Structure 1
Amino acid sequence: MYKKFIITLLLCVTSSVTTVSAANKTASIGINTNEAMDLGTSIPFVDLFKLSLPFEEARPWLTKGKITYDANGWPKALNNGIAGTRFASHIPVKALPTGDYTVLYDGEGVLQYGVSAKLVSRSKGKDIIRLVPTKKGDISATISIVKSNPSNYLRNIKILMPGGVCHRNVFKRVNNANECGGKQYLSFAKYHKELTFNPDYLTFMKDFKVLRFMNMSGITRNLMSSWNERAKPEDATWAGVEGVRGVPLEIMVELANVLKSDAWFTLPHKADNYFIHKYAQYVHENLKPGLKAYVEYTNEAWNGIFPQAHYMKDKGQAMRLDPNRDYAGYKYYSKRSVEIFKIWEKIYGSTDRLVRVMGGMTGNLRLTKMMLNHQEAYLHTDALAIAPYFYASQPDTKRLRSVDAVFKILEDPNNPYSIKNVLSSVKNQAELAERYGVDLVAYEGGQHLVAYKTHTMTEGPNPYLIEANRDPRMAQLYFQFLRGWKQAGGKLFIAFSAPRQHSWFGSWGIKEYITQPAHEAPKYRALMHFSKLNRCWWKGCSNYGPIVRHGKPIQVAAQ
């Protein structure tokens, strides 16, 4: 009887999404997801523990002693030590629902809470806590295992949001059954296995056509190569340092299915063929048939700040693809991309629901030609993806001393990275893409105001850069930029990124936290307004239509 009810529940969840998220079918804007982190303000999951640091990363502040762990990262023996972690770090109060959070766990032991987390009550396998703002007015919270029975160790901790949802509406959190108007109330404490995602997160994400999972999958500086190294649903946490963290493929596919959004998967640079095969197989079997899968081999293979760029060069040189080390790397990226595309094509049995993506660089036409020409890779490619960002050079950025000056330089024709000049590069790339019979899309894009080598919010021009991102004029620039993108020949635009706090290393989030009102978020406002006025304009852009293949030239001369 219980299993029958759960199946019915899941069917109803699916049917409710169809109505709520219909707008993304013809949207022209996508969104980059964010990493799972304790300081992340997207708050994607009902279970906050999935955003916590791995216990060993919290050493020596919270984890002490010689702890031993099981295969999923749970401390199976404290050995007179303490295993602690942080599951929220400087989160704006408004980003999290108020009320009592339910902590569930298996095994025998004692949990201790710190900073904002205050114990309300305790029973077997269950604690109730409350998150109280710090003196700074934000939420930072820790949890520690201070006692654990080695023969039945404390594990499977869940920190579940207060409230739940009403039957057939996963997009709105309610506090209790009284708010459901006679419909069934599904509390997170009871139905957390079926209700993975924070309703506020789903409400934000539902308007985007494509979800790019590069950040969420945790591939940045990640050296995993084999399938058994991947993130798994049963892992204690999906967070951690760069190169370690990662949300499981199962969860990403589930999110795309719930939202009925196309899914953009970015594969690790060292992934072997078995990894690629299993990944493609899972997507093919589990992503809803009406949804497209974008397939991209690694992220920014040309960018020397990432290990994948050096990996490409090493492999390209070893294969003697070009005497020039950089060019050898570009050609290896092209070669390996096509190999990956072919694995996906074999699993899918066709290319009808696949978008095969090559990642280029906005201002580098030579790179585009080299990637698409190498062994006629353009014949196996559907989209050239670039990252059109507008900003100022570092010398100019350091000289900024007002918000007005920020906006002036972003529109200065003498600034090579001004909106006008970046759009000129976009036009060049669009014309080149058309010659090769591929679409031009943006895998990232927007403002890129960063003062490198600063380390605080108040240092140098940072106050002006941050304030510019909050200024209504930023909405005007974004709309102008997106309109220019369309006019220059660009198609799908994947914004960077889902909500995250502004900081000295960039103001990347189109909101600063998941529940921030639209009137406080100019970038978000502009993106939504543009998408509303400019429904997707390219052939075959409907979520449920087939991919429209462009005619490929018989031959494109290398230049």
Structure 2
Amino acid sequence: MGPGICECTENCKYGTCWNGQCECWAGYTGHTCSKYDPLTMPNRKVSVGINLAEITYYSSEVKFVDVAKESMEWITQRREGVLAHQWNTHEEAKVHFDDDGYPTQLEDTMILVTLILRQGHWSPAGNYTILYDGEGELGLGLVHFTRIYEGKGRMMVNMDPGSGGIELKIMRTNQQNHIRNIRVILPGFEDRHAHFPYNPLFLETITRYSELRYMDFMHTNAHQPEPTTWATRRKQTFHTQTGSYGAALEYMILLSNMIGASPWFNIPHAADDDYIRELATFVKTSLRPDLKVYLEYSNEVWNGIFRQKVYSVEKGTQLGLDSQGYRAGMKYYNKRSSEVMGIFQSAFGIDSEDRLVPIWAWQTGYQDYYQQALDDLGNRTRDFKALAITGYFSCDGAASKHKTDLPQMTMSAISDLCDLDLPSQKNMYSHYMDVAKNHSLSLVMYEGGPAVMEPGAISHGSSNDDVTTKAIAFNSDPHIKDNVMAILEAWKSIVTDSPGNQAPGGLFNYFSSAGFPSKYGSWGMLRYTGEDPHSVPKYMAVQEFITKHLSHDVLGNKCSFLISGNVAFGCFKPRDRHGWQCGKSYNHGSAWEYLPDIPGHDILNILDGYNHATHTLFVRTVDALGVNQYHVTDTYHFNWTTTDSWTYHSMLASRHVTRSLPMGDYRNLATTHVDCLYQAQAPPPPLG
């Protein structure tokens, strides 16, 4: 724990300690977070998952509050000499790096440089904290900054990264005590970043999904090294979580644990048996016991743009699986997929039946090829529980077949093309649902969503600017909302609701969570972390779909309370009043003094915390789609102020804030006037 931050007196079993009390993961309650109550989970029984964006220094999805985790890998520069004006001198081979990627020494004129928060995505202005171990000198570039404080191992600078981002430089390092463990922390999160590494704005956009596909998070496509071993895996302590090694497994487990979303792991194509065995054991012992594990060998091994396709052909040919390269690759995929699933099942033992969801996937667009691959799989289908397909829709090839007309088309006309395309999508879903049933398997989607873009941009980089501009505009136009909703409804009626295709079948896995549009596609549901969800038609379509079909969705804690000294604060539904109320009590909840109404009319109010130093109360109001508004008030005058999401969360991260109590642990605050209890279920077995 940080300076001045209290430890908890008891272990937080399924949660994290903060300032003397446990903050429980979604679905867990009690003062030690040991009771399981799925009725408190916003994603309970939701049949929609999400593909998370890749971690890069230019990604618009800012996942971590320590943004050094999203930095570019080091490049070299020179202060002096003929190389002094080159952006990258490509001298990394001259640098000796420690196991975490930090230089143990530098030549006199050499500088190491990385980029953070690049390419114009969202990033807040304010006081950034830079922490590091060791001795040396750090520098900053690309951004105007004011140095607020500098001492041993700690700097605070005021800056606004804007569109240019941050250039972080190691100017010199002490060979006997080299600079390492560099952290660049977003404003307000210096106290909490070590225990709560994820950006709360990122978390809020994914809390309603029941599954997270970590394909890009793991850098599955062209994953390195070959072979991938447990010893060479990316670790949490490495200087960045970007790059071809993918992010640390620990971060994926923590994220799934926090929000209660089952992980979908894509095993690297060149992973050896020991890596797979160690990964399986780690997942079994670290993942919370109520979650399932979706498991897929690599990603789109049939796709020629990825290294894993070439690798599978090489291996299949070496093994003599077929004289034709593409068929040798297909057969190797089947062979290795079955082996991967077997290793996991052995590691999980008797838990494998309930917890593992082995996935088999092949090229959706060519039904005969898909069937050929399944025929080769043969009786090894018993090693899997579900087939997986894609669910993209291109609006009858709006940016390919209709590219000549697209720049002049109205948004309504493009939307009509999507409607025209819907019957063929339905036929495809029906076809693969029948295929899955014929093989006694469930059907899921590994990727799906709008694909209105020029296919040639991905295959060979060619595009037309006018077509690209119109495709990007349609992807953010209100008309696309109905088209996304229609494809979700079609999937639900044909696949999710199909008899015999109950969970884990029926999962719609949207691609992807966030990303800026380009000629290569408008894949991101949100353009950037922190974007107003109500302004994003694709996001609102998915949330409306979830709300429409999952009326049990609680959207958050039914009641929330905290105690600060002799006073308690709470937000709840009183038995004798209509609507949500927030109040304070001086007698442990025997009587409540209701606070002035919070602006807006929403589904519920959630009390997040109280800053005893500034006497500030933090309350979120949540609408029917799970979108938050943020309100603060001082507890002397109770004049509510509505604020933006970043300001709210950065203020809430202070060490002086007492957070609301875990669900189900009210310390007798709600026994008389409030009904806060859900119908709790028996807790799952312990980890491991």
Normalising by structure 2, we get a TM-score of 0.69
In 2, Cα distance between equivalents of 1:423 and 1:443: 17
Partner in structure 2 of residue 522 of structure 1: 537
Partner in structure 2 of residue 509 of structure 1: 524
Matched, 1:154 2:185: no
TM superposition shift of 1:310: 2.1
Whichever residue aligns with residue 79 of structure 1, its letter is E
Matched, 1:127 2:171: no
In 2, Cα distance between equivalents of 1:520 and 1:139: 25
TM superposition shift of 1:320: 3.5
Partner in structure 1 of residue 240 of structure 2: 237
Partner in structure 2 of residue 99 of structure 1: 126
1:245-283 deviation digits (Å, cap 9, x = unpaired) = 511011100110011110100001111111110111110
Partner in structure 1 of residue 609 of structure 2: none
1:304-346 deviation digits (Å, cap 9, x = unpaired) = 1112112222333333334443233222211211111111111
1:370-424 deviation digits (Å, cap 9, x = unpaired) = 3434241221211111111111176425424437457645654998xx3332332
SS in structure 2 opposite 1:356?
Answer: strand
Q: Cα distance 1:16–1:293, how it changes in 2: closer, same or farther (>3 A)?
A: closer
In 2, Cα distance between equivalents of 1:190 and 1:501: 31
Matched, 1:73 2:82: no
The equivalences for 1:262-301 within 5 A come to: 262-301=262-301
Partner in structure 1 of residue 367 of structure 2: 365
Q: Cα distance 1:455–1:380, how it changes in 2: closer, same or farther (>3 A)?
A: closer
TM superposition shift of 1:197: 0.7
1:218-246 deviation digits (Å, cap 9, x = unpaired) = 12111332222211111111113xxx251
Partner in structure 1 of residue 610 of structure 2: none
Q: Cα distance 1:288–1:378, how it changes in 2: closer, same or farther (>3 A)?
A: same
SS in structure 1 opposite 2:113?
Answer: strand
TM superposition shift of 1:192: 2.3
Partner in structure 2 of residue 18 of structure 1: 27
SS in structure 1 opposite 2:42?
Answer: helix
Partner in structure 2 of residue 145 of structure 1: 170
1:503-556 deviation digits (Å, cap 9, x = unpaired) = 22111100001111122211111111112222499xxxxx9999xxxxxxxxxx
Partner in structure 1 of residue 426 of structure 2: 423
The equivalences for 1:147-296 within 5 A come to: 147-163=172-188, 188-224=189-225, 225-240=228-243, 244-296=244-296
Q: Cα distance 1:545–1:406, how it changes in 2: closer, same or farther (>3 A)?
A: farther
For the 8 Å contact 2:398–2:417, the answer to whether it is kept is no
SS in structure 2 opposite 1:504?
Answer: coil
For the 8 Å contact 1:27–1:536, the answer to whether it is kept is no
Matched, 1:487 2:493: yes
Whichever residue aligns with residue 465 of structure 1, its letter is A
Q: Cα distance 1:422–1:214, how it changes in 2: closer, same or farther (>3 A)?
A: same
In 2, Cα distance between equivalents of 1:16 and 1:311: 39
In 2, Cα distance between equivalents of 1:129 and 1:403: 49
SS in structure 1 opposite 2:546?
Answer: helix
Residue 354 of structure 2: which of 352, 361, 385 is its match? 352
For the 8 Å contact 1:403–1:468, the answer to whether it is kept is no
Whichever residue aligns with residue 377 of structure 1, its letter is R
In 1, Cα distance between equivalents of 2:58 and 2:289: 35
In 1, Cα distance between equivalents of 2:172 and 2:405: 54
For the 8 Å contact 1:403–1:467, the answer to whether it is kept is no
TM superposition shift of 1:116: 2.6
In 2, Cα distance between equivalents of 1:249 and 1:394: 38
Partner in structure 2 of residue 35 of structure 1: 54
Structure number with bigger Rg:
2
Whichever residue aligns with residue 52 of structure 1, its letter is S
TM superposition shift of 1:207: 0.9
Residue 143 of structure 2: which of 116, 119, 124 is its match? 116
Q: Cα distance 1:458–1:98, how it changes in 2: closer, same or farther (>3 A)?
A: farther
SS in structure 2 opposite 1:384?
Answer: strand
Q: Cα distance 1:139–1:423, how it changes in 2: closer, same or farther (>3 A)?
A: farther
Partner in structure 2 of residue 396 of structure 1: 401
In 1, Cα distance between equivalents of 2:120 and 2:286: 33
In 2, Cα distance between equivalents of 1:249 and 1:75: 24
For the 8 Å contact 2:117–2:161, the answer to whether it is kept is no
Q: Cα distance 1:13–1:408, how it changes in 2: closer, same or farther (>3 A)?
A: farther
Of 37-46 and 399-408, the range deviating more from structure 2: 399-408
SS in structure 2 opposite 1:479?
Answer: helix
SS in structure 2 opposite 1:215?
Answer: coil
TM superposition shift of 1:287: 0.5
Q: Cα distance 1:89–1:21, how it changes in 2: closer, same or farther (>3 A)?
A: farther
Matched, 1:325 2:325: yes
For the 8 Å contact 2:399–2:471, the answer to whether it is kept is no
In 2, Cα distance between equivalents of 1:101 and 1:306: 38
How many residue pairs match? The answer is 507
Partner in structure 2 of residue 498 of structure 1: 513
Q: Cα distance 1:408–1:302, how it changes in 2: closer, same or farther (>3 A)?
A: farther
Moved >6 Å (runs of 4+): 454-458, 543-546
For the 8 Å contact 2:57–2:116, the answer to whether it is kept is yes
Q: Cα distance 1:362–1:14, how it changes in 2: closer, same or farther (>3 A)?
A: farther
Of 286-295 and 528-537, the range deviating more from structure 2: 528-537
Matched, 1:441 2:444: yes
Partner in structure 2 of residue 555 of structure 1: none
Q: Cα distance 1:457–1:130, how it changes in 2: closer, same or farther (>3 A)?
A: farther
Matched, 1:465 2:491: no
Normalising by structure 1, we get a TM-score of 0.84
- The structure where helix makes up a greater share of residues is 1
Residue 112 of structure 2: which of 70, 80, 83 is its match? 83
In 1, Cα distance between equivalents of 2:46 and 2:107: 55
1:465-484 deviation digits (Å, cap 9, x = unpaired) = 11101100111100011111
SS in structure 2 opposite 1:205?
Answer: coil
TM superposition shift of 1:89: 0.6
Q: Percent identity between the aligned chains?
A: 30
In 2, Cα distance between equivalents of 1:55 and 1:446: 35
Q: Cα distance 1:338–1:198, how it changes in 2: closer, same or farther (>3 A)?
A: same
SS in structure 2 opposite 1:75?
Answer: coil
Gaps of 5+ in 2: 29-38, 79-85, 497-505, 553-680
In 1, Cα distance between equivalents of 2:76 and 2:409: 42
SS in structure 1 opposite 2:465?
Answer: coil
Q: Cα distance 1:352–1:434, how it changes in 2: closer, same or farther (>3 A)?
A: same
SS in structure 2 opposite 1:90?
Answer: coil
Q: Cα distance 1:115–1:457, how it changes in 2: closer, same or farther (>3 A)?
A: farther
TM superposition shift of 1:37: 0.8
In 2, Cα distance between equivalents of 1:221 and 1:295: 18
For the 8 Å contact 1:216–1:246, the answer to whether it is kept is yes
Q: Cα distance 1:458–1:3, how it changes in 2: closer, same or farther (>3 A)?
A: farther
Whichever residue aligns with residue 372 of structure 2, its letter is M
